[in-house]
Each structure stands twice: as structure tokens, then as C-alpha cells.
């Protein structure tokens, strides 16, 4: 089974820990790093080159859309955000899925992960 490395970018450390706990249930996923700063995240993503990015939209001085536009190559991205205001724009930037916080079910997360991992 192919392992897919992932990074989480969110300003809420409690949410990062919760999401990481959910993602541990997927044997084909491997945690690489998490960031609460977009600048640090952009550097880390460029250096570590994860397969998957879990990204919040409202983080700090740069938002998720800013990050999507500056990272190249962009990992397969799943947005997880409180707001759906930026959903259409994010999806137009080749985001694989957009999940509204809080994550209501493990099944919803599994659908998003299947989209990303089956896109190889």
C-alpha cells in the first residue's frame, strides 16, 4: 500500500491535534508536519514536498487562497474551514475537496481522502 505524506496548516492547534487523530485511522497516510503560520507552512511545504495538504482558509496575514497561489508545485489539497465563502475560488484552484468545520463524520473525511489518494 502506497503511503501518502501530509501536512496540516491551521491556526488552531487543538483542531490540528483533532484532525491528526482522525487521520491516524487511515493506514495509507503518513503525518509529516503541521503549521499554524502560513509563511512557515509555505517554507515547509516547499522543503518537505508532501503528497497532501490539509488547509484552513483563515490563518494569519496570508489566507488559504494566498497559500494556494504561491506554492508550486501544490500538493493535492483538501480545505477544511469554518467558512464556505471562499469555496468556489478554492475549488477553481484545483483543490480536491472543501469540508466545513467541524468535521461532522469520519465518512465525510474518508470521501475526501479517497478522492486525493485515488488521483495518482
Query: Can you give the pLDDT of all 120 residues of the chain as single tens digits?
Result: 789 999 999 999 999 999 999 999 999 999 999 999 999 999 999 999 999 999 999 888 788 888 888 888 899 999 999 887 888 888 888 899 999 998 888 899 999 999 999 986
Cell numbers describing residue 19: 484532525
Note the Cα 62 to chain centre separation in Å: 15
**Nearest alpha carbon to residue 99 among 77, 118, 120:** 77
How far is Cα 44 from Cα 84, in angstroms, rounded to an integer? 26
Amino acid at each position: 500500500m502506497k503511503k501518502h505524506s501530509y501536512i496540516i496548516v491551521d491556526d488552531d492547534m487543538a483542531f490540528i491535534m483533532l484532525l491528526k487523530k482522525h487521520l491516524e485511522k487511515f493506514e495509507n497516510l503518513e503525518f509529516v508536519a503541521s503549521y499554524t503560520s502560513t509563511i512557515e507552512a509555505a517554507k515547509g511545504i516547499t522543503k518537505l514536498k508532501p503528497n497532501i495538504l490539509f488547509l484552513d482558509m483563515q490563518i494569519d496575514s496570508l489566507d488559504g487562497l494566498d497559500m494556494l497561489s504561491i506554492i508550486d508545485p501544490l500538493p493535492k489539497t483538501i480545505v477544511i474551514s469554518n467558512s464556505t465563502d471562499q469555496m468556489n475560488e478554492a475549488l477553481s484552484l484545483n483543490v480536491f475537496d472543501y469540508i466545513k468545520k467541524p468535521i461532522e463524520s469520519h465518512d465525510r473525511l474518508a470521501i475526501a481522502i479517497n478522492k486525493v489518494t485515488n488521483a495518482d
